[in-house]
Amino acid sequence: MPNKAFLLAEAAMPGWKAVRSAAGSDRARTVVEVDARGVDVAKLRAKYFGKTKTAGAVADAASQISDGEIVKVESTRQTGTGPKQLHVLVSNGKVTGVQG
């Protein structure tokens, strides 16, 4: 049964049908080891922006944004040109981006 993101993607993209990938085909099958550590983002914000209430408000707003879901869609039209597959980003109950 298609999930909500699939239904939203299909509704926003007439002429396209959401498809499921083969199990695990979109995921990297390698283990990546950390070779270096980056600087803590909180320390960088404090260094360049100071310790302000705005920085905390930005962090609070960012925490309220849900993770998006990427849905692969395929064209249902039988044309010889144009993309055959697109990736649609569905976030917070609406389509927020399309990449082909």
* pTM over the 0.75 mark: no
Q: Which residue has the higher pLDDT, 87 or 46?
A: 87
With the C-alpha atoms ordered 23, 29, 32, 38, is the resulting torsion angle positive or negative?
A: negative
Dihedral sign, Cα of residue 41, residue 45, residue 46, residue 48: positive
Query: Tens of pLDDT along 7-38?
Result: 999 999 898 999 886 655 545 445 667 677 78
What is the tally of structural domains in the chain?
1
Render the burial of 34-49: b for 16+ CB within 10 Å, e for the rest: eeeeeeeeeeebeeee
Residues 58-88 have pLDDT tens digits of 666 666 666 778 889 998 887 777 778 899 9
Boundaries of domain holding 73:
4-99
